[in-house]
Copies of this chain bind each other. A is one copy, B any other.
């Protein structure tokens, strides 16, 4: 354990994140010098304000021991797979332009995956804990589709949508990342302890809080920025009007990520937040291909949804008018068809021949009728009304 790592661990605990001023100081003078200055109070008034409550506590060695014993690691800006291009940016976003800063001081990580690589092809799937059966179904379906196309599913390990998203990615043998609002050794919610262990084995459990830190309300909001930052797009599956998922979406927007939301019944309060997001400009998402089109490699386009087709599709407008004029029962002469359709007899003849070839019309003694087995029968003729 070298002094740099101990200094990063100290810095990670001494502030309540985010604290971009301290991160900038560490980048400028190195973590050891930054830690030393914090201890002495030899820092700017703002950094003093952020650090004086905890500067005399140094449990860095214990924290590093603890993460070692958990089989995890402390990931810092000095490490190769730190998902940051420079200390003023996180995943390529210049945090100096953001009010509160984005880059974490360091990340406490359980799991083998290289977080920098993972974040290159990742989508956040988030939503309310008070999920409906519908929401859990869609979260599962979306995450399964993403995992099958090698997209990492990032979420917050909460009950409801988050849990369904992680579980589906695991079930599809995909990679999934849980970002926690407390220490990685504080499984939260407790009911998801086993799930978090499975996530750790197949992906990553990540937190910017040192071991032992309890999740707290403001930490969920702070955590949400990392969920958004690690993902190319954030998909809100279900969210009430007041939901942390809206906060994650706001972070995604601020970070230049694409905000997506899944619609649902307007009668469901669990979809109300999604509808607000869509009205505010979020992408409406109905299936995983649409997410992949947003975050995927160039050329990964969603297939067009299949449209039901009809043999009448290939008719011209005029052809359809003639077809419509054919009687369901009995027969009509060309003159009668002309009046019915409003088309001159000369224009009719060619169309009737085409309809006959297409098996849609039958002629007998110069009089015409619908082909009996012609696909759209009388009752189906109004498929195109609203």
Contacts and interface: CB of A to CB of B under 8 A. Distances in A.
Interface of A: 15-16, 49-50, 52-54, 57, 126-129, 134, 137-138, 156, 158, 161-162, 181, 215-221, 224, 227, 239-245, 247-248, 262-267, 271-272, 275-276, 278-279, 283-287, 305-308, 317, 320-321, 323-325, 338-339, 341-345, 347, 381-386
Oligomeric state, in number of copies? 2
A15 to B, nearest CB: 6
Contacts of A50: 342
A87 B219 CA distance: 65
Given A50-B342, A57-B339, A241-B305, A279 B272 contact: no
A52 B346 CA distance: 10
B264 A265 contact: yes
Contact of A216 (B49, B127, B248, B324): B324
Contact of A218 (B242, B279, B321): B321
Contacts of A275: 263, 284, 286
Contacts of A220: 382, 384-386
Contact of A262 (B221, B239, B266, B342): B266
Given A54-B342, A158-B385, 13 more contacts: A134-B265, A216-B321, A217-B382, A217-B383, A218-B317, A220-B384, A241-B305, A242-B307, A244-B386, A263-B263, A263-B284, A265-B265, A279-B283
Nearest to A306: B241
Contact of A267 (B16, B138, B241): B138
Nearest to A227: B386
Contact of A386 (B126, B267, B286, B320): B126
A344 B217 contact: no
A241 B308 contact: yes
Nearest to A57: B339
Contacts of A215: 382
A306 B269 CA distance: 11
Given A241-B307, A308-B242, A52 B344 contact: yes
Contacts of A161: 386
Contact of A263 (B16, B138, B247, B264): B264
A383 B341 CA distance: 64
A271 B325 CA distance: 32
A287 B275 CA distance: 11
B262 A53 contact: no
A312 to B, nearest CB: 8
Contacts of A286: 266, 272, 275
A384 B373 CA distance: 61
Contacts of A57: 339
Contacts of A158: 385-386
Contacts of A242: 307-308, 383
Contacts of A224: 386
Nearest to A129: B385
Contacts of A53: 338-339, 341-345
